[in-house]
Amino acid sequence: MHLCPGGTGYLDGDPEGAAKWEINASAGGWHEVTLTHEIPFTGDSITFALGLYEGQPARSGSDNIIEFTDSDRCALAEPVTLPRFTAEERLLEETPVPEVVEIAEIPWVAGEREFPSELMSDSQINQETGLRFWEAYLTGAQLEAVAYNYTSFSVSAVFEGLLNLCGERVAVLDGDTVGVAEWAIQATGSGHSDAKIVFTLPNDPTFRTIVLAVSNDEPVRMGRIESTGLIGPSPLDISESTECE
């Protein structure tokens, strides 16, 4: 993928051809972004999250380093003025040291997996560790999801179907819209189990949210209850995804 100035680019592979690209904010950490690029001649695009691994650019959640080299296909691109910084200006005042929490993969048994006891009410873990346990519990799962567009006078559903939460924060959507996007876990409050799923749609970087909680030591999702029309908790039903293999 050749990433030329002005959002123009070229995909050299199968298929091959001109492809626009763009960078957007990520649902993940402060140092992460999403890269979206077109697939030539298909009208489709693909989005994936970029982050850091041991100080080098990599797919978010992966140790596969991405190598960026000078492109030989961008000579004819529209020239643009890009900001330049000295080496000192690029340095952070303090080098952040992220907390590394090693959590074992939670096995699937007959399409289901056990909810981590660390997220239950009597647990003493901190919020950051709680987010990592939510991520371990949800990675590789699928669940039903609905996404809406809100305007001043109307609310319309733009996606209804299955949301597959794959590794490296790749979301595979299978429903009214089909494609690949991004997902992440974020905090919603001060408790160790207060969290939400944030995801995007293909070709749409707008963040959609599923609020999570723990009730009676069971995972729940907050939303409109179909039988009453009121907002409240309902069981968070997940199963093993077949899209994440």
**pLDDT value at position 163?**
96
**pLDDT value at position 32?**
84
The pLDDT tens digits of the residues spanning 94-112 come to: 665 655 667 888 999 999 9
**pLDDT value at position 80?**
59
Local structure of residue 65 (DSSP, 8 states)? B
- Nearest CA to 179 among 39, 15, 25? 39
Average pLDDT, the chain: 85
Confidence (pTM): 0.68
User: How do the domains of the chain map onto residue ranges?
Assistant: 2-90, 117-240
**pLDDT value at position 158?**
87
The pLDDT tens digits of the residues spanning 47-59 come to: 888 888 888 888 8
More reliable by pLDDT, 212 or 33: 212
Question: Is the pLDDT reported for residue 81 higher than 60?
Answer: no
The rounded distance, in Å, linking the Cα atoms of 230 and 69 is: 54
User: Per-residue DSSP letters for 188-241?
Assistant: -SSSTT-EEEEEEETTEEEEEEEEEEEETTEEEEEEE-TTT--EEEEE---EE-
The pLDDT tens digits of the residues spanning 141-187 come to: 999 998 888 777 777 888 999 999 999 889 999 998 899 999 999 88
